């Protein structure tokens, strides 16, 4: 069994995911000390006050110095600059991991800046809420949820095993995947649904005023679920779409063809085509319930 | 105060909504007798067995004869034929209402077949689950939910007041709206979200096999919410899209323009445009929470 405990953890990014992981690590006795850092002084102060980190640094390199484990938990677009900043401060044998929803882009951004002997083990906990910020985190967030590791070929096996052990210790089920494949799976299960929810809720904001107020009032019919998704962190999602452009555009293209076909069926009154499509989608729900993911 | 009690109710369509309303009426002591009918013998037998109707008829006209209130609760596409069938059997002073998600089309389909002295009061309880069928109903479904009445100009005021009283008695908040306006509001709050959820879940069913299994496995990232919506009754939704074609196509056109704009922002890496859009949509969620609709 690999050791899930890390003596000194550096946490860069103190939002929903980062603060939840810090809370879970502390609750599980999985960490000696957590040194945290974040972009704004307000977030750093709030994190210290909430107590899920032991110490704060204003500078990522200072926070990462002497750390056994460095967790990148800022929006994925910040990773290249963060890796460049911390690279020279990392000690040999340190493990760098992350929590980003896109994996190939993270490897491309981070790996070139890491010195020899430092191990990169990218990870994606498939968990979250529409809340964001250090107050939004909670230690139970990862329980029963998947965490997908995407170590590049040749990654140190012990480092991978330790990150796996850590995620299992906070309650997650761990899987391993090729990074580009991960990005394609997540493009359809997560990124495209978010993009569509953001779109339709945005479309509603362009409606004339009275209509818009009624949309709020009668949101229960389906729209409400979309508004919950579309309340997710704007900067985090901006970065995800930019970092997973190819997979998102590919899946968006498929979606768009299908939507056009259904639009055409509505326009020309093709009831059988609609009913057939709506019947097939029911089966997917049943599969998800069967897989225990509902 | 108008009288919410009806001595003899005829319920045509015994699915989720119809059976929930029957249960709520019985629980509230709001009805003398409920005579039910449905298209299939299996549904009729199941409804009798479950006990939310007192008597069953195989024929809509027979069920409607001598009824004080006739509730159309079949898929909206069936309404024209049903109204034609029951019209000659209706007694003077009877009230015909419905529970459909589309309102102008219901008026167009039903009104021409009603004899003089019979009142049409169209209604739409904005409530539901992804389940369907007589077993899926429950008396609490309408509690705290909106029910929108769309009586055509000139509808008997007492009839409208009685239907209002009935919906209030089963726990709903009642609002009144012009039928075409209702159809536009619902096109964006309900019909378009359903169409989009059906589309993306269908897109996922076209994926190559291994990818599709992973989509099921990692559905938690947003896709899961869509599969719940896309598990709604196929025939009911086929009819809604066909009956509300103009409003759905109008809203779909706006959605499509917005999606294309976001797609372009992703393709050309326009981060500020994405962030700006995603920030605006957050405000909608806050409004819904404020309106007590979350």
User: pLDDT (tens digit, 9 = 90+) per residue, B174-217?
Assistant: 999 999 999 999 999 999 999 999 999 999 988 888 888 899 88
CA distance A204 to A88: 48
In this structure, which long-range contacts are made by residues B22-25, counting pairs with CB atoms below 8 Å and at least 24 apart in sequence? B22/B52, B22/B53, B22/B137, B23/B52, B23/B137, B23/B138, B23/B139, B24/B139, B24/B140, B24/B141, B24/B142, B24/B170, B24/B171, B25/B166, B25/B170
- Note the pLDDT tens digit of each residue in B115-124: 999 999 999 9
- Note the pLDDT tens digit of each residue in B237-288: 999 999 999 999 999 999 999 999 999 999 999 999 999 999 999 988 888 8
Name the residue among B146, B211, B238 with its Cβ closest to that of A274. B238
Check residue B173 and give its pLDDT: 97
- Give the pLDDT means over successive 10-residue stretches in chain A (294 positions): 92 98 97 97 97 97 98 97 98 98 98 97 94 96 96 96 98 97 95 96 89 87 89 95 97 96 98 96 88 74
From B263's Cα to the closest Cα of chain A, the distance in A is 7
pLDDT over threshold 80, residue B290: yes
Q: Do B192 and A200 touch (CB under 8 A)?
A: yes
Check residue B222 and give its pLDDT: 85
Using alpha carbons, select from B68, B83, B21, B72 the residue that is nearest to residue B47: B21
Pinpoint the residues of chain B covered by CATH 1.10.3660.10. 181-290
CA distance A231 to B92: 52
ipTM of the complex: 0.92
Check residue B208 and give its pLDDT: 84
Q: What mean pLDDT is reported for chain B?
A: 95
Check residue B283 and give its pLDDT: 87
Size of interface A-B (CB pairs under 8 A): 298
∠ CA B34-B38-B39, rounded to 5° = 165
Check residue A68 and give its pLDDT: 98
CA distance A201 to A231: 9
CA distance B240 to B191: 8
In chain B, beta strands by DSSP E:
6-12, 31-37, 55-56, 69-72, 95-98, 119-121, 123-125, 146-149, 173-176
pTM of the model: 0.91
H or E element that contains A98: strand A95-98
- Rg of chain A's alpha carbons, rounded to an integer? 21
Check residue B209 and give its pLDDT: 81
H or E element that contains A70: strand A69-72
Check residue B288 and give its pLDDT: 86
Name the residue among B201, B238, B275 with its Cβ closest to that of A284. B201
- Between 3.30.200.20, 3.80.30.20, 3.90.550.10, 3.40.50.720, what CATH number should domain A6-177 receive? 3.40.50.720
Q: Do A190 and B284 touch (CB under 8 A)?
A: no
Check residue A221 and give its pLDDT: 75
Residue A163 to residues B27, B149, B242, Cα–Cα distance (Å): 56, 58, 52
CA distance B202 to B106: 29
B181-290 has which CATH code? 1.10.3660.10
Check residue A210 and give its pLDDT: 84
- Note the pLDDT tens digit of each residue in B84-99: 999 999 999 999 999 9
Check residue B184 and give its pLDDT: 95
Check residue B292 and give its pLDDT: 77
Region B37-53: mean pLDDT is 97
Check residue B212 and give its pLDDT: 87
∠ CA B138-B141-B144, rounded to 5° = 150
From B194's Cα to the closest Cα of chain A, the distance in A is 7
CA distance B148 to A11: 51
Check residue A244 and give its pLDDT: 98
Pinpoint the residues of chain A covered by CATH 3.40.50.720. 6-177
């Amino acid at each position: 069994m690999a050791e899930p405990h890390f003596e000194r953890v550096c946490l860069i990014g103190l939002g929903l995911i980062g603060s939840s992981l810090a809370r879970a690590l502390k609750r599980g006795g999985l960490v000696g000390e957590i040194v945290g850092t974040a972009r704004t002084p307000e977030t750093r102060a709030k994190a210290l006050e909430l107590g899920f980190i032991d110490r704060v640094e204003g500078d990522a390199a200072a926070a990462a110095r002497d750390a056994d484990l460095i967790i990148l938990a800022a929006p994925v677009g910040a990773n290249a600059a963060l890796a460049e900043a911390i690279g020279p401060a990392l000690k040999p044998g340190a493990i760098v991991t992350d929590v980003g929803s896109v994996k190939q882009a993270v490897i491309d951004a981070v790996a070139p800046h890491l010195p020899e002997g430092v191990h990169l083990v990218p990870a994606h906990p498939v968990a979250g809420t529409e809340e964001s910020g250090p107050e939004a985190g909670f230690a139970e967030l990862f329980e029963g949820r998947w965490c997908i590791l995407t170590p590049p070929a040749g990654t140190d096996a012990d480092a991978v095993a330790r990150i796996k052990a850590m995620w299992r210790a906070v309650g997650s089920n761990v899987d391993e995947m090729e990074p580009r494949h991960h990005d394609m799976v997540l493009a359809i299960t997560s990124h495209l649904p978010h993009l569509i929810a953001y779109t339709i809720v945005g479309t509603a904001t362009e409606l004339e005023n009275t209509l818009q107020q009624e949309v709020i009032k009668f949101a229960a019919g389906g729209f409400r679920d979309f508004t919950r998704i579309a309340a997710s962190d704007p900067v985090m999602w901006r970065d995800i779409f930019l970092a997973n452009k190819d997979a998102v555009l590919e899946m968006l293209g498929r979606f768009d063809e299908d939507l056009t076909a259904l639009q055409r069926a509505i326009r020309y009154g093709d009831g059988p085509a609609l009913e057939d499509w709506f019947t097939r989608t029911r089966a997917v729900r049943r599969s998800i319930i069967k897989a225990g993911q509902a």
